[in-house]
Each structure stands twice: as C-alpha cells, then as structure tokens.
Amino acid sequence: MAVTTETLISMKSIWKFFGGVAVLKGVDLDLRAGEVHSLLGGNGSGKSTLMKILSGAYVKDQGTVEAGGRPVVFAGPEAAHEQGIYLVPQEPKVFPNMSVFENVICGMRAKPAEMLGLVQKYAQDLGFEGSLSDEASSLSIANQQLVEIIRGLVRDARVLILDEPTSTLTFKEVKSLFETIRLLTSKGIGIFFISHRLNEILEISDRVSVLRDGVIVMTEPTSTLSSGDLVRAMLPAGEAKVELENAARGEVRADAPILFEASHLTGEGFTDVSFKVREGEVLGFAGVVGAGRTELAHAILGLDSFASGDVLMRGKKLTRRSPRACQDAGIGYLPEDRHLHGIFLDLPNVDTMTAGILSRLGKPFISRKREDEVAKKYIDELQIKVSSGAQVSRTLSGGNQQKVVISKILSAGPELVILDEPTRGVDAKARLDVYRLIRSLKKSGISVILISSDLSEVIQESDRILVMHNGRIEAEFAQGDFDLERITASAFGIAG
C-alpha cells in the first residue's frame, strides 16, 4: 500500500437534510492517493449518504467537495465519473438480462469494440471467473461486485468507494477482495472502505474515520488504533464501556426439559443442521455474515420452500410451518433487517406493536383501549423513548425502532424467541437494554436463540454457543469453554 501525500478528495462541512432532519451535520473527510481509508459508523450514521453525495447520486445541501484541489459540483453520477470517482454500491446493481461486457460499458460513450481489450485486461487482473459474454443474472454476488469494480476502473476511477463490500461474501472471497484492494492501491488509486466489521477495518485500512451522529469524531492512522478504540469512538460521549456481570446471568438447569428441536434442517444456505434448546436457555449462534444463520431462521419460520428437515416444539413436530404457525406454536422471530421485515415505518408505533396479535385485541372490533394498553405496557417495560404509541416509527432512533419490533414479538407471548442480530445499528444505551431484556426473558423461563456476528456479545449473553460456518454447525462450546479466539477461528472455518 503506497500511501502518498497527494490528496485526491477533500470534503469540508458537508450538510445534508432529509425532510428537515439533518443526517450529515458538517462532515470533514479527505482521501489520499494509494490509501485505504475506512469509514466506520453505526446504521443511520450517514455513511452511505455521504458517499452518495461524493459519487454524485445525492446533492449536498451545504459544504464543499474538492477533487484534485479544485471545487467540484456534481449534477449526477456521470459528472462524478468524469472526475474519476466511482461508487461500488453495497448491493451490486447489475443488469440481469445483459452480458457482463455490456454491463461494464453500459452508459459509456466509447465504442464497444474499443473497450473490449481494456475490459478483458481488468477482468483478468482482478481474477474474474467466467466469460465476458455470460449473462449477468448467472453471476455470484462476489463476481457481481467485481463487475462493479471493473466498471469503475474502466472509467479511469482514481477514487473507488466500496460500500459494505464484504457483507455478502464468503471468507475466501473477502481475502480475494483484499488482494484486489492492495493491487489497486499500489497503482495510486484511493479507496474509501465503508464497513462495520472492526477486524476487517483493522486489517486493510491505512486510516480510519468514525462517523457518529452526522459528524466525523475521529480520523486516525490505523496503526495507532485497537478495536477497543474504535468501539469507544462509536459510543456517544460520556458513555462508559459496556459491562455486565456474568454472574447476573443465571444458570440453566442441566435437566431442564427440551423446548425446541431442529432436526436435520437443509435448505438454501445451510446443510444438515440439528440442535436442541432447553427451557430457559440462551443459545448463541455465532458466525460471520453468510454463515447461513438467518437462512436457517427463515427456514424454521417456513419461509424457505426448499427446506427439508423437521422443527419440533416440546416434542411435537410442526407440520406446516409459516410465520403464523410458528407464532401460534410459541416461536417468535426478531428479523435481521428490521426495516425490510420487521417494522411499519410510516405508521404509528402501536400499529407495529400490535401487528402480531390483531385477533386478540377484541372481537369483532379492535378495542382501542386494549391497543393502547399493549403500547403502554411495552413502552414502559422496554423503556422506549417515544411520546406515545401514536408516534410514527420513522422518527425513532434505530435502537427504539428495534424495541418496537421486539414489543411485537413479545406481545404474542412466545416461549422461544429467536433474535437475529438484535443490536445491529443500535446505539450503546439501547444495546444494554437488549442485554437486560435477554436476561429477564431467561429469568421468566423463556428461551432465546441469539444470532449475532458480534462474537463478544454472543459470549457475554449465551449459556451455550453453536458456531456456524458456511451453512454447517462447525463447533459447539459449553459455558466453561468460551474462548473468543477459538470461537472466532471456528467462525472463519479455521479448525482449532
């Protein structure tokens, strides 16, 4: 990584509003040639918005952007391309019905025949598997991402923005991507690397900036930082490090009855998974993204029509699984993506909270009183920061939105709660509340399956840990054997 002192991009005092709410509140950020500059921040901190402004997809409300020392104003993405800036989106945007080659040169003014040689060269350099004439719909996500990177190179990009590039890649593909990044920076290209994966940031970047609440709170060389430093930088000012006594967790009786059993579940993303959960047990599912845990959860819920294998509650097999059937059987699921699958953003909180128990709110007519009672109950219990149940969910912070969805799950009175990445995009205070919730659930005899990519969190909260890697259960750890290094190694598929 040949970092130079040449500044490619300089952003000063960038402000951006959406509907009167400031998402970026005066951001200062710069990028040097040959540098990998990581941008870290929680969900909703504004990382994507900032990069979309830089790449011409959004228009800033105030502030300046300088490229190569001169101020630039982008009317659209094409203008940014002309300045050598290219954004590789979090989810690659390929055209499924066009060939790879057409995908790469789409929108460019040069004649296709002229571009062929260049595209072939880049494809080869980056180790692209497959032919340029393949239809893009047949590409794996990793290869789709390569297509995006080639798009940038072919447009003479000097600045590449990689937005959460590793969230859908396997371990091997991540390694491959990092090699590509090193290759590119050796040629003087500057890279913005947006991620929330601390270990990757520490491995690949030269500098790290942390974006919190719309401002950059820290920009430092990576060599001077530890993951603890990064975590602390993301916490609101004045928050002490999260500490909870292991002792307060309580014990699981070894002879507690088996509540839930998954038997030889196989589906898209996971193979032959079997495990049991006892009453009052917190079972942690550790792994990296892509290990298949969410796919497993969806299959348990009956959302994967290809899954084979059985799910049993208290020894009784669930014959036809669906979210409704699982709920009736006592299984609750907190979705990994709360915006997509969990919350009704533009409706009042109470609507989300009661969405699972509509038929219990009164027959034949929904009792407004009962609705409000439910809302009040969970606002108090989970300490949700809202004025009332009538407040529209979109105006809530990530942590409070998560609590609203949790209310919905709990309102149905489950015996087993599956939490899928419950603290993702949640501020530190709300995170504490989630941990408290897990413990109180356990105390009241409700079992929890905790799916999380935050391995310290899994260790902290679980009674037992299963590690999934590449769709299989790789290892099991009993409470006495919790060891962060060994669990991490398992999660990455390294035999320990």
Which residues, numbered 351-390, are part of the site for another protein (CB under 8 A)? 351-352, 355-356, 358-359, 361, 364-366, 390
Residue in 2, 73, 91, 484 binding another protein, rule: CB under 8 A: 91
CB burial string 403-436: b at 16+ within 10 A, e below: bbbbbbbbbbebbbbbbbbbbbbbbbebbbbbbe
Among 38, 166, 170, 453, contact with another protein (rule: CB under 8 A): 170
Beta strands in 399-452 (DSSP E): 416-420, 447-452
Question: Least distance from C-beta 323 to another protein, angstroms?
Answer: 5
Residue 412 or 489 having the CB closest to another protein: 412
Minimum separation from the CB atom of position 40 to another protein (A) = 23
SS3 (DSSP) at 268: coil
Are the beta carbons of 25 and 213 closer than 8 angstroms? yes
Find the part of the chain contacting another protein (CB under 8 A) among 187-195, 252-260, 287-295, 373-381: 287-295
Q: Which stretch binds another protein (CB under 8 A): 28-36, 260-268, 375-383, 426-434?
A: 260-268
How far is residue 482's CA from residue 286's CA, in Å, rounded to a whole number? 12
Interacting residues with another protein between 34 and 63 (CB under 8 A): 55, 57, 61-62
Number of residues that bind another protein (CB under 8 A): 90
Q: Does 327 bind another protein (CB under 8 A)?
A: yes
Q: Per CB under 8 A, does 319 bind another protein? A: no
CB of residue 149 to another protein, shortest distance in Å: 14
Structure tokens at 150: 């080639």
Compute the distance between CA of residue 338 and CA of residue 316 in angstroms, rounded to an integer: 30
- Asked whether position 447 contacts another protein by CB under 8 A, the answer is no
d(C-alpha 45, C-alpha 220), whole Å: 19
Determine the Cα–Cα distance for residues 193 and 161; give it in Å rounded to an integer: 6
Q: Judged by CB, which is closer to another protein: 347, or 484?
A: 347
Tokens coding 287: 């792994």
Identity of the amino acid at 153: L
351 vs 421, beta carbon nearer another protein:
351
Please list the alpha-helical segments (H only) found in 329-367.
338-341, 349-353
- 16 residue type, one letter: K
* CA dihedral for 182, 170, 43, 229, sign (positive or negative): negative
Nearer to another protein among residue 61 and residue 220 (C-beta):
61
Residues 92-151 that bind another protein (CB under 8 A): 93-98, 106-107, 109, 129, 140-143, 151
Under the criterion CB under 8 A, does residue 271 sit at the interface with another protein?
yes
Q: Find the shortest distance in angstroms from Cβ 111 to another protein.
A: 8
Q: Report which residue type is found at 26.
A: G
Count how many Cα atoms sit within 13 Å of the Cα of residue 452 in the half-sphere of its side chain.
25
Q: Is 495 in the site for another protein (CB under 8 A)?
A: no
Q: Is residue 264 within the footprint of another protein (CB under 8 A)?
A: no
In whole angstroms, the minimum distance from the beta carbon of 212 to another protein comes to 18
Site string for another protein, 8-37 (x = CB under 8 A): -----x-x-xxxxxx--xx-----------
Strand order through the sheet with 331-334: 331-334, 416-420, 447-452, 282-286, 464-469, 472-478
Q: How far is the CB of 99 from another protein (least distance, A)?
A: 11
